[in-house]
Each structure stands twice: as C-alpha cells, then as structure tokens.
Structure 1
Amino acid sequence: MADTTSSLPVDLFDQTTIISLLFTLAIVAAAYATSRQVLASSTSSTLRFFFIWHLADALCHFILEGSFLYHCFFSHVPAEDALAAGFHPTPFNFLGHGAERVYGAQAGGSNPFAQMWMVYARADRRWAGVDLGVVSLELLTVFFDGTLALYICYCITKKDPKTSIWMIILATCELYGGFMTFCPEWLTGNINLDTSNFMYLWVYLVFFNTLWVFIPLYVIWWAVGDISGALNERKIKKNL
C-alpha cells in the first residue's frame, strides 16, 4: 500500500467526485422515499430498513455497477493509442478481439458514469479497465444480486414469510462477492490499491465496501433469528 502520509492529490474533491458522492446519496434518498410510498405504516422499523437497503442495493447494482459492465463490454479504443496514453491493458482476446482494443471506463471518454468509475479507480485501479475477476463477479452481482434484491423488496411489501430465506441467500452472495473482490489484492500485497489519503482508504475502499459486509451480516443474523423463532413456534404447537 502507498504511504498514507503523502500529500493529497489536487483532484481529490473535483466536480466529478462530488457529483458521484451526491448521486450515491440520491439513490439512498430514492429508496427511502419509495419505502414511504409502498410500505404500510405498521411496517416495523427493521423491515423498513431492510426494504431501503435492498432497494438501494438493487439500484447500485443496476445503475452503478451496470454502467461499469457496459463500459467493459462496449467502450473501447485502439490499443496502440490507448497504451501510449497510459491506459491499463485489456486481457488478451477479451471478447475475441486479440490485443487490438482496450476496454473499460478508461475508454468511456466524457460519459458521466465512465468518469465516475475513473474517480473510484484512483483508489482501485482495476476498475479503470477490464479485470476478468471483477467483471465475472459483477455479471453475477448485477444480473442475479440486483434482481434478487428487487424481489426481496417485493416480498417485504407483500409480507411474504419466505422473505428471510431470500435475504439470507442474497446476503451470502454479497459477502462472497466482497471477499472474492479483495482477496486477490490481499494475496498480492494490494498492488492495485492506493491508500495514500483519507478519501481513497476510508471512504472509497473501507466505507463503501464494508457496507456490503456489516449490513449483510446483520441481515443474516436477523433472518436466522426470524426463521428460528418460526420453527420454535411450530415445535411448541406440535407439543401442545
């Protein structure tokens, strides 16, 4: 890791960074506003929190991480020009194109989402281009996790008793995805991570990623308790 005592970069709080952080807050606000519209007033605070979390989770997966996948598959520039400009190389034969193209947010030009991912790539350079491990995980995250998160929101609105089961499945997926995202870095000495300042280390890498650790762990704890309570109640009724 880089020395955390080094001087701060001049673009630490540029316009793209501020807009990106505000957009993230807007997703949470939209999830909260939706909860006010679709959940009954009698809904417990815990289930309301789970609804907001899972809706915000789905929106992050579909909009933010979906845009990352879009640029990985559809944004590209000639490799000769890109590599000369310092772009990260794309794995050989990605999408069957040999080595003549460079893909990823780095090739997205002025697209707002490409610029947003280039901001995050200051802390984790893998997100600038195409890292096959990250892309493979994001395909599952966007299409499976995002869809399941939306379904969980629907289950909460319908007071479906199977909601806890689906929440455990999704939370386990989120934890596994986070581990597989960062374990390769831990094993190679964090060569792609920049922890040279507070924003990169504690906001981008720690805060935004550990949200998908601590909240899923809490979801699992609550859901296991909910299922256990239902099973204990059934056991009591059988013994009557």
Structure 2
Amino acid sequence: MSASSWPQAMMADHPYYPPDLDLPGYVPNKIGVPTLLASFAGAVGFVCSVTSVVARTVRPGISKGQVLTAMWFVVCGCIHLFFEGYFAYHNATMPARTDLFGQLWKEYALSDRRYLTRDSFTVCMEMVTAVAWGPLSFLIGWLVIIDSPFRHPLQIMVSLGQLYGDVLYYAIFFFDESVYGAIYCRPESFYFWVYFVMMNGFWIVIPGWIVYTSIIETAKAFRVAQGSAKMKGL
C-alpha cells in the first residue's frame, strides 16, 4: 500500500509502516543516513584489516581464501555479539534509542519495523544469534588462522545456524505479509532490496558456500583415513 493511500488522520510522526503504527517513546534519528552507513562500513573495514594483519602475522603462509574466511567469521562475531546483542538487550526501548547502534537499528527498521515493536520471533532469534553464534564465530576465526581441523565441524554448525535463522526470518516476513496482510517494510524499493534482501542475503550465500566447502574437506579427510586404515589392514 502506498503512502498516499493512507488517510491523513492515520499518519504518525514516524517514517515506519504502517503509518498508524504505535511506537511509544519514539525519537527521530539525528545522524544522517550517509554517516550511519559509512560508520557501519568503516567498522567492518577496520575489523577486516585487523583480522588480516593478525592472520598474516600468526601464520605468514596463510592462503587468501583462509584470510577471507577468518575475516568473515570475525565480522560475524562482532555483528552477532555486539550489534545484534545490543538489540537483544535493548529491544524494549528501541524506538527511543539515540546512540549510534540505536540509530543504525532504527534506520534498518525502515525495511522491517519488527525491530521496533518487540516482535517475539525477532527478539528470540537475535538473542540466540548473539549468545551462541557470536562467541563461536570469534573462535572459528581463530581456528581458521591457526589452521585447526576443528574449524570444519564448527563452521558447519554455525553456518547452518545462520542459514536456518535467516531462512526463518525471510519466511515469517513473507508469510505474515501474504496471509495476514502485515506491513513491515516501507514501500520504497531501496529499503526492501538493499536493506532487507541484500544485507540479509549475505547470511544465505556465504554460509551456504562455507558449509559446502567444509563438507568437501571433511569428506576428503575421511577418505584419507579410510585409505590408511585399509592399508594397515593389509
């Protein structure tokens, strides 16, 4: 439904949809969108740079692919534990939050207002993500750097958890929209395709690839072990 189709009397003093949504204590963002997005991108870039330096210092011969994998998990750890953990902790007061993380969440909520309304699934999903996948992602990043074989089962576990959470997140959004007529996202295509689809899509594509590569590596290890066992049996 377009903004012009809503009766003026129903329009609220916030930019979220539906316009008659009640957001007690809502405070508008003060930081501009370019600054918010640049802050987030800058933080991700800083984490990637530090991870790369640490990885190449600890293991000079580390491959580019392993460096990228370590970067991914350390970035996931930061986002899961700190950013999503922030939401899980402050979910009751999100409309009124005015610090950097609060304003970043309110900007993202233009694509999914559930982050401002204490939606039960969103709160529980983010809490599990922060508590479980956050610390484990940091551990996996370190295991990748030191080339530990234990990283593969943990990679599979965490990546499947990320995939499952993201699939449920998408599925409930579209189910509520198609069955109940719920409106979570503003009508502008930017918020849907960039914020909702693209930004969450990373946790579909990358974990899927990591699960695939870890399964291949695990299968190779078992094949070698089985071959060695057969030779010893001879």
TM-score, normalised via structure 2 length: 0.79
CA RMSD of aligned residues (A): 2.2
- Structure 2 residue 39 is the aligned partner of structure 1 residue 23: yes
CA contact (8 A) 1:16 1:116 kept: no
Amino acid at match of 2:205: F
Question: What is the deviation of 1:171?
Answer: 0.3
Q: 2:209 aligns with which of 207, 210, 218?
A: 218
Q: 2:139 aligns with which of 151, 154, 158?
A: 151
Question: What is the deviation of 1:21?
Answer: 1.6
Task: Indicate the residue corresponding to 2:106 in structure 1.
Answer: 118
Q: Which stretch has the larger CA shift, 204-213 or 153-162?
A: 153-162
Task: Indicate the residue corresponding to 1:85 in structure 2.
Answer: none
Q: 1:61 aligns with which of 80, 101, 114?
A: 80
CA contact (8 A) 1:123 1:195 kept: yes
Query: Sequence identity, in percent?
Result: 22
CA distance in 1, matches of 2:135, 2:81: 9
Q: Which runs of 5+ in 2 are unaligned?
A: 6-14, 16-29
Matches within 5 A, 1:1-240: 2=1, 15-39=31-55, 40-72=59-91, 103-108=92-97, 110-189=98-177, 191-194=182-185, 196-240=187-231
CA contact (8 A) 1:126 1:192 kept: no
- How many residues get paired? 201
CA distance in 2, matches of 1:232, 1:195: 52
CA contact (8 A) 1:27 1:59 kept: no
Q: Which stretch has the larger CA shift, 184-193 or 59-68?
A: 184-193
CA distance in 1, matches of 2:183, 2:157: 30
Question: What is the deviation of 1:15?
Answer: 4.3
TM-score, normalised via structure 1 length: 0.77
Amino acid at match of 1:18: P
CA distance in 1, matches of 2:36, 2:210: 27
Cα deviation code 1:122-181 (max 9, x no counterpart): 111101131111111111100110011011012112221111110000001101111222
CA contact (8 A) 2:110 2:186 kept: no
- Any idea what SS the aligned residue of 1:135 has? helix
